[in-house]
Amino acid sequence: MRGQTASLVLLLVIVLEHESESAECVTHPKVPLLTQSLRPLAFVPHIKMLTLADGKKDGKEFISMAPGYFPEIAPELWNDWKWQLKNRVTTLAQLEQHLTLSEEERAGVLLSGDKLALAITPHFFNLIERDNPDCPIRRQVIPRIEETWASPYDMADPCGEDSHMPVPGLVHRYPDRVLFLVTDRCASYCRYCTRSRVVSGVGKQELHTEFEAAFKYLEEHTEVRDVLLSGGDALLFSDAKLEKMLSRLRAIPHIEFLRIGTRVPIFLPQRITPELCAMLQKYHPLWMSIHVNHPRELTTEVRAALERLADHGIPLGNQSVLLAGVNDDLETMKTLVHKLLICRVRPYYLYQCDLINGSSHLRASVAKGIEIIEGLRGHTTGYAVPQFVIDAPGGGGKVPINPGYVLYHDQEKIVIRNYEGKIFEYPETGGDQSVQFAPQREYHDEYLYS
């Protein structure tokens, strides 16, 4: 204790000695040294119980919104994931009981119901601001009239999944891995869902996964070493049903790596029970890709769920979709990626929104995505920087999109710029003719010939 006090005194002395000075900082030119010294402490998690009435809407802190719009519900029911599913908000009347809807939303709820169902878990519904039509949470889950509009680029199956299915429900697009669509149901439905043609069960197209044929295909195709369970959301299955599926996959010797793509920890953190985690732990290596778009989605309950998964050895990555009016600004994304690291989740991908039917109002520009990556790379740890990708329309797979850091490249040198815009040259070693790569020659005259 005495040692701690001495350390604190020493820190204070150092800080006070420097307090009168200012230093150059790349992002904030005149940040006092005291502030710089304290900045790392901003990442220390806070646990607070706040409600929307407290006005804490920027998502910087971990807070619980429970019981929010459901004050009469007993905690044991609230914490029961099956109660959460049974009591999802699914109708216009339920929405209007709690929220002030805009005309666009009211019309959207009435007209888009035969395309993608409306369903929001009470937990996630609590994150929605009652009177703010621009609330970044409601834009993700409450339909708007714009969903019924068709833009010239819209597609029903933008990633070309249906044309890469050797067996119904099994997408084999990349050489060594498959996407296994195990269900068409989710805890809540995202209005920009790339698989909205089949999820939720209300559209014209239905998902009819042929499980036995899929397992047989996987047993025969020894080149498949990686299976991603998605849908829909596999974590909506009972523990027993999910375990049956995982053990069947684990019995295939050449399958090295299992993944689950899920938004359940965010929509329904109550589902991440100790029993589920203990079961999942038996099937390592098992990784999980979660899906968070806005920092407010990372509540105290979600953080506890993610920590439970991490404690059971499940590596966690996050896939965000770049969405207009939700996360298409640097500060929001920066808060999100820093909170993810606190939750032990590595920001993995930032997706340019797919060209899914009725999503044009939610699509931000590619330029905005590049600007966000530019604002993260070098300005914070590389662990916090997701890879920005476009899933090439029609089934071309994920293509990484980066700010232009390579200015020139030939057999003799590469010319690069860093995050501050400074230019550097690095020599190529001996013009190795055996190296196969797609040379990136971007001729930026102002750098090379001035």
- The three-state secondary structure class of 351 is strand
User: Six-digit token pair at 56?
Assistant: 């804490």
* Helix, strand, coil percent values for the chain (each to nearest 5): 35, 20, 45
Q: How far is the CB of 50 from ligand SF4 (least distance, A)?
A: 26
User: Six-digit token pair at 208?
Assistant: 């009819």
Give the nearer residue to ligand SF4 in terms of CB position, either 289 or 300: 289
193 near ligand SF4, judged by CB under 6 A: yes
Give the nearer residue to ligand SF4 in terms of CB position, either 259 or 263: 263
Residue from the set 78, 189, 215, 351 that interacts with ligand SF4 by CB under 6 A: 189
Give the nearer residue to ligand SF4 in terms of CB position, either 270 or 375: 270
Q: How many residues bind ligand SF4 (CB under 6 A)?
A: 10
115 near ligand SF4, judged by CB under 6 A: no
336 near ligand SF4, judged by CB under 6 A: no
> 134: buried, middle or exposed (CB in 10 Å: 19+, 13-18, 0-12)?
exposed
125 near ligand SF4, judged by CB under 6 A: no
263 near ligand SF4, judged by CB under 6 A: yes
Q: Cβ of 47: how many Cβ atoms within 10 Å?
A: 11
Round to whole Å and give the CA distance between 116 and 2: 62
DSSP 8-state class, residue 84: H
End-to-end distance of the chain based on CA atoms, in angstroms?
Answer: 61
C-alpha angle 366/158/220, rounded to 5°?
Answer: 125
Q: Which one of 162-170, 189-197, 212-220, 438-446 is the stretch in contact with ligand SF4 (CB under 6 A)? A: 189-197
Residue from the set 190, 228, 355, 356 that interacts with ligand SF4 by CB under 6 A: 190
Which residues are tagged catalytic?
A: 173-174, 177, 186, 190, 193, 195, 354, 391, 398
Per the CB < 8 A criterion, the answer to whether 157 and 206 are in contact is: no
Window 224-243: contact mask with ligand SF4 (x via CB under 6 A): --------xx----------
Round to whole Å and give the CA distance between 146 and 358: 6
Q: Which one of 38-46, 190-198, 201-209, 241-249 is the stretch in contact with ligand SF4 (CB under 6 A)? A: 190-198
Beta-carbon contacts of 286 under 8 Å, excluding residues fewer than 6 positions away, are 246, 258, 259, 260, 280, 314
259 near ligand SF4, judged by CB under 6 A: no
Q: How far is the CB of 400 from ligand SF4 (least distance, A)?
A: 21
Per the CB < 8 A criterion, the answer to whether 163 and 132 are in contact is: no
Give the nearer residue to ligand SF4 in terms of CB position, either 316 or 407: 316
Q: How far is the CB of 12 from ligand SF4 (least distance, A)?
A: 48
Per the CB < 8 A criterion, the answer to whether 212 and 244 are in contact is: no
Beta-carbon contacts of 314 under 8 Å, excluding residues fewer than 6 positions away, are 277, 280, 281, 284, 286, 287, 288
Q: How far is the CB of 109 from ligand SF4 (least distance, A)?
A: 16
Q: How far is the CB of 263 from ligand SF4 (least distance, A)?
A: 4
Window 195-214: contact mask with ligand SF4 (x via CB under 6 A): x---x---------------
Q: In sequence order, what DSSP letters do the residues of 375-440 get, joined into one string?
A: HHBTTB-GGG-PEEEEEETTTTEEEE-----EEEE-SSEEEEE-TTS-EEEEE-STT-TT------
Q: Which one of 183-191, 366-374, 381-389, 393-401 is the stretch in contact with ligand SF4 (CB under 6 A)? A: 183-191
186 near ligand SF4, judged by CB under 6 A: yes
275-294: contacts with ligand SF4 (CB under 6 A): 291
389-428: contacts with ligand SF4 (CB under 6 A): none
- Residues forming contacts to ligand SF4 in the complex (CB under 6 A) are 186, 189-190, 193, 195, 199, 232-233, 263, 291
